[in-house]
Chain A
Amino acid sequence: MGRYLIRRTLFLILVLFIISALTFVIFLKLPAGDPARRAAGRRATESTIRQVRINLGLDKPWYVQYGRFAKGLIPWPGFFLNEQVYFSYFNNVPVKEQLYSRIPYTAVLALGGAATWLLLGIPIGIVSAIRRRSFVDRAGMVFALFGVSAPVFWLGFLFLFFFWFKFNQWFGWGFPPSGIPTEESLGTAVLKGRFLLPWLVLSFTFAAFYARMVRGNLIETMGEDYIRTARAKGLSERRVIFKHGLRAALTPVVTMFGMDMGYLLGGAIITETVFRIHGLGDYAIRSLFTNDFPAVMGVTIFASFFIVVANLLVDVAYAFLDPRVRYQ
């Protein structure tokens, strides 16, 4: 196991390098205006701009520039996204600060969404698998098809339209629209229900996907020989389904979940934009639009870090869940 972890950690660093290099190359080639000019501000003079350029190290050759960024890849305090390099062109604040302040919003969105989609998707999947071709199964799969096909932004606006706007019109009250006012703390925002609509929208797509997955896996598992053995032992059908069938069927779902969480922690861009939540996804979009290169690098690396770590945790979890994998 130790050997395995070392190998995966090395891969982690390798992946971060590749991603950062690619991002760097993309930015190098992008004809998007002179970052020094933008950083210097509107009414900067030529000499100021030149000075800013030197300060930001933009006059150095490309490999030196990359080298400075590369130092910020090492996931160790003091190195990771260090302030000297990862300094926003736009805001003049360290990227790290911005990221850390936004993570809680993304985390609340991701975790709440995850809880919702698991509570929604898994039971639908189980019932659909057990009662195949019943009404519940068909309705569940229609829901799944809808959820998987509906674009998130469309769904988001649809929800806002109905549950906020129309509800206000009809009932005098609607779900809060969730653009979080600056004076409100995160805790208050959650309690006021500002996250309900974003959670629902986010979970819709995932719930649909998970329902289908659980259904498919469970149907397959229930056809295995060991289920027949379990029934032959005289076990109750409930025990057969949950202890024998579901246990095996959920293992791939757990790994899927891990990866989805890793992905979401990097920022659910569309959901955050539609509902005006100041999380990592929102930050990523803004940095791109303002050509804020260090910010983009920073958020990309940050998000990649989560995904790679999530993958690693998922593999470790799998070894716990499936004893056959342990003995490599």
Chain B
Amino acid sequence: MAEPLLEVRDLKVHFPTEDGLVKAVDGVSLSLGQGETLGVVGESGSGKSVTFLSVMGLITKKQARIEGEIIFKGQNLLDLPPEEMRNIRGSGMSMVFQDPMTSLHPYYRVGDQVVEAIRAHQPIPKKEAFAQAVSMLKRVGIPRPEERARQFPHEFSGGMRQRAMIAMALSLNPDLLIADEPTTALDVTVQAQILDLIDRLREEFNASVVIITHDLGVVAEHCDNIMVMYAGRVAEFGDRGDIYHGAHHPYTWGLLQSITRVDQPKTERLRPIKGLPPSLIFVPPGCPFHPRCPYRFAPCDVEIPPLLSPDGKHASACHLPLEDKERIFQEEVEIRA
């Protein structure tokens, strides 16, 4: 089996604050192969963004206590000096963020911002870089790219701005593209366009893509593998079929039962997860989900459930025995066809 492109081993990111130690990420492990897409699903406070900001080196040991390993193309990024990390950031791996309105600098022309990204890693003359920038803008589907490159961000619509961000992120042909809620701030038809664009470019560039989102629909349609996070830990990991047609974690069940779906009639009542997400300072002992879990039993408030996988692929962090997990899914969660 080929070596994975990115491997995260037991990553912990703790922020010391006045109120206490915020355990934003508390033991996350994952593995991503070349050309794969990974969907990272979780609500606010799950640690999904912090995990990948740490992978990118945008959260450093100066701001937080970081433990564990982040292995990218064989190198542990946490051991690298900042200079070398900077070389990787933007060219080996790049990131696209949620709000395209504020993610581009309002004072500089869009083309110049793409040029800046290129020239930060390749010492080529400005003219050449600008031509590259224009061709990238064209590849992401921006019409009249030469004209648009000379415009300012506020002259672009939301969808176009996000395309420009993607162009900037892909301009150096990275192996890994991380998209943090790339479509949350966009209209649904624009969202579909952008996600299709990411799919297409992934193939063209042969890159691996991580999509971080709270939208279970998005990952169902665009991701091969899915990781569900809760309170800074991985609750479940599996491929599309595993998660949607055979999930093994009560939190995943809860999510599946509480989301609205276009294909469901109105009479189907939502079944929300009781309670509120936990504080990351005072994380519940044992399994962090146990206060809200309708299936909790003896070990749940004492022992942290390890992320185990009976078949080597589909893993869940829950004490329930496998037969129970399968039974509960079939009886209670599976959408009645």
Chain A residues within CB distance 8 Å of chain B: 224-226, 228-236, 239, 244, 247-248, 321-324, 327
Q: Is the CB of A248 within 8 A of B103?
A: no
Q: Looking at the complex, which of B116-124, B139-147, B234-242, B313-321 is the stretch in contact with chain A?
A: B116-124
Q: Is the CB of A228 within 8 A of B86?
A: no
Query: For residue B105, which residues in chain A have a CB less than 8 angstroms away from its CB?
Result: 226, 229-230, 244, 248
Q: Is the CB of B103 within 8 A of A321?
A: no
Complex A-B: 8 CB contacts under 8 Å: A225-B103, A226-B104, A229-B104, A229-B165, A230-B105, A232-B169, A233-B94, A233-B116
Q: Which of B91, B97, B99, B102 contacts A234 (CB 8 A)?
A: B91
Q: Given the known A-B contacts A225-B97, A228-B103, A247-B107, are A234 and B152 also in contact in the complex, defined by CB atoms under 8 Å?
A: no
Of the listed residues B95, B102, B107, B121, the one surrounded by the most CB atoms of chain A closer than 10 A to its CB is B107
Q: Which of B87, B94, B99 contacts A232 (CB 8 A)?
A: B94
Chain B residues within CB distance 8 Å of chain A: 56, 58, 86-91, 94-95, 97, 99, 102-107, 116-117, 120-121, 152, 154-155, 165, 168-169
Q: Is the CB of A324 within 8 A of B106?
A: yes
A324 vs B152: C-alpha distance in the bound complex, in angstroms? 8
Query: For residue B86, which residues in chain A have a CB less than 8 angstroms away from its CB?
Result: 234-236
Query: For residue A327, which residues in chain B have a CB less than 8 angstroms away from its CB?
Result: 154-155
A232 vs B89: C-alpha distance in the bound complex, in angstroms? 6
A225 vs B94: C-alpha distance in the bound complex, in angstroms? 15
In the complex, what residue of chain A is closest to B89 when comparing beta carbons? A234
In the complex, what residue of chain B is closest to A232 when comparing beta carbons? B95
A interface: dominant SS: helix
In the complex, what residue of chain B is closest to A244 when comparing beta carbons? B105
A230 vs B169: C-alpha distance in the bound complex, in angstroms? 11
A226 vs B88: C-alpha distance in the bound complex, in angstroms? 19
A231 vs B63: C-alpha distance in the bound complex, in angstroms? 15
Query: For residue A234, which residues in chain B have a CB less than 8 angstroms away from its CB?
Result: 86-91, 117, 120-121
Q: Which of B90, B91, B103, B154 contacts A324 (CB 8 A)?
A: B154
Query: For residue B88, which residues in chain A have a CB less than 8 angstroms away from its CB?
Result: 234
CB-based closest 10 A-B pairs: A234-B90, A225-B102, A234-B89, A233-B117, A233-B90, A226-B105, A323-B152, A225-B103, A232-B95, A229-B103
Q: How far is the CB of B222 from chain A (nearest CB, A)?
A: 21
Query: For residue A226, which residues in chain B have a CB less than 8 angstroms away from its CB?
Result: 102-106
A152 vs B105: C-alpha distance in the bound complex, in angstroms? 40
In the complex, what residue of chain A is closest to B114 when comparing beta carbons? A233
Q: Given the known A-B contacts A225-B99, A226-B102, A234-B89, are A248 and B168 also in contact in the complex, defined by CB atoms under 8 Å?
A: no
A230 vs B86: C-alpha distance in the bound complex, in angstroms? 11
Q: Which of B87, B94, B99, B107 contacts A321 (CB 8 A)?
A: B107
A244 vs B168: C-alpha distance in the bound complex, in angstroms? 16
Query: For residue B107, which residues in chain A have a CB less than 8 angstroms away from its CB?
Result: 247-248, 321-323
A60 vs B102: C-alpha distance in the bound complex, in angstroms? 63
A270 vs B73: C-alpha distance in the bound complex, in angstroms? 67
Q: How far is the CB of B36 from chain A (nearest CB, A)?
A: 21
Q: Is the CB of B106 within 8 A of A231?
A: no
Q: Is the CB of A228 within 8 A of B58?
A: yes
Q: How far is the CB of A243 from chain B (nearest CB, A)?
A: 8
In the complex, what residue of chain B is closest to A248 when comparing beta carbons? B107
Query: For residue B91, which residues in chain A have a CB less than 8 angstroms away from its CB?
Result: 234
In the complex, what residue of chain B is closest to A322 when comparing beta carbons? B107
Of the listed residues A230, A233, A239, A327, the one surrounded by the most CB atoms of chain B closer than 10 A to its CB is A233
A233 vs B92: C-alpha distance in the bound complex, in angstroms? 10
Q: Given the known A-B contacts A236-B86, A324-B106, are A229 and B116 also in contact in the complex, defined by CB atoms under 8 Å?
A: no
Q: Is the CB of B89 within 8 A of A248?
A: no
Q: Is the CB of B90 within 8 A of A248?
A: no
In the complex, what residue of chain B is closest to A321 when comparing beta carbons? B107
Q: Is the CB of A233 within 8 A of B120?
A: yes
